[in-house]
């Protein structure tokens, strides 16, 4: 892989944000609105004594983590869709750019978006709800890294589906995570799910991350079993989905469908 090609593709997408209000809204406006909404709801629950646990801390942490994963997934998927919408996808692949370099640039773009969104949401959470992520030290960073990886890998998966079936499947770039949200224990522990479907939850790295996040917030202790559970399942997902993407890309290229992506 060549770093200058990765940097060039990444900068192309970053420059698009400078003059695009909708793109900036996708990064900042919607996550901020979600944070405020859930923050005010959790504050109300706490004031009404509807729960003995610190609802604000847990829910705000869950909202921030969920948005970080969403941003990483959409960064990868939308970077691909941008090329399709502008009919530029074929152009970039008649250059020496490799598929691995394209994926690497989208992963870096996802990391940039996660850092930006995480910073803004952390400041707002501190100002409005006195929720300070820094009080947990570095215990949450490994879990955030796992979310970034899982979100990016899911972005590669949705990209592979869009490659295969065209832009008629582009809704997956924006709604795929909603299919997983009920099962990945974002706002409640896995034990709250019916026993019959708890096994589904444990097949996803994000479940271990949200469970680990709640344990860090509740006890201040870092759970190595949950961390390694996230790492292990992330590796499996990454290997399988990257293989799947390479197969879909080869299929599209072999059948001359790169020209027909619209």
Q: Please report the pLDDT score of residue 41 as a whole number.
A: 62
Residues 221, 214: Cα–Cα separation, whole Å:
10
Q: Is the pLDDT of residue 63 over 70?
A: yes
Residues 110, 77: Cα–Cα separation, whole Å:
10
Computed over every residue of the chain, the mean pLDDT equals 80
With cut-offs at 50, 70 and 90, classify the pLDDT of residue 189: confident
Residues 193, 231: Cα–Cα separation, whole Å:
23
Q: Is the pLDDT of residue 84 over 50?
A: yes
Q: Which of 55-59, 70-74, 112-116 has the lowest mean pLDDT?
A: 55-59
**Cα dihedral 74, 80, 85, 90 in deg (nearest 10):** 180
Q: Is the pLDDT of residue 50 over 50?
A: no
CA-wise closest residue to 182 among 204, 149, 161: 204
Q: What is the phi-psi region of residue 194: left when phi exceeds 0, alpha when psi lies from -120 to 50, beta otherwise?
A: beta
Q: Which of 2-11, 87-96, 137-146, 151-160 has the lowest mean pLDDT?
A: 2-11
* 155: CB partners within 8 A, 6+ apart: 72, 73, 74, 75, 76, 77, 106, 110, 173
Q: Is the pLDDT of residue 12 over 80?
A: no
Q: Please report the pLDDT score of residue 177 as a whole number.
A: 85
Q: What is the mean pLDDT of residues 232-249?
A: 93
Q: Which two tokens stand for residue 211?
A: 């469970």
């Amino acid at each position: 892989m060549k770093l200058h090609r990765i940097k060039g593709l990444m900068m192309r997408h970053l420059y698009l944000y400078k003059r695009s209000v909708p793109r900036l809204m996708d990064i900042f406006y919607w996550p901020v609105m979600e944070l405020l909404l859930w923050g005010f709801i959790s504050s109300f629950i706490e004031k009404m004594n509807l729960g003995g646990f610190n609802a604000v801390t847990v829910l705000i942490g869950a909202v921030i983590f969920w948005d970080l994963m969403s941003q990483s997934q959409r960064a990868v998927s939308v970077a691909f869709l941008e090329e399709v919408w502008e009919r530029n996808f074929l152009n970039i692949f008649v250059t020496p750019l490799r598929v691995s370099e394209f994926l690497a640039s989208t992963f870096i773009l996802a990391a940039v978006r996660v850092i930006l969104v995480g910073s803004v949401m952390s400041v707002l959470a501190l100002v409005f709800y006195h929720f300070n992520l820094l009080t947990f030290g570095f215990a949450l960073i490994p879990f955030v890294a796992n979310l970034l990886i899982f979100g990016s890998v899911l972005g590669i998966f949705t990209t592979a589906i869009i490659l295969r079936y065209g832009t008629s499947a582009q809704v997956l770039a924006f709604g795929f995570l909603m299919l997983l949200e009920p099962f990945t224990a974002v706002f409640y522990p896995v034990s709250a799910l019916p026993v019959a479907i708890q096994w589904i939850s444990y097949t996803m790295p994000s479940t271990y991350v949200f469970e680990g996040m709640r344990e860090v917030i509740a006890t201040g202790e870092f759970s190595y079993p949950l961390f390694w559970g996230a790492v292990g399942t992330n590796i499996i997902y990454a290997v399988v989905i990257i293989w799947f993407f390479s197969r879909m890309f080869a299929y599209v290229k072999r059948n001359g469908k790169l020209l027909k992506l619209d």
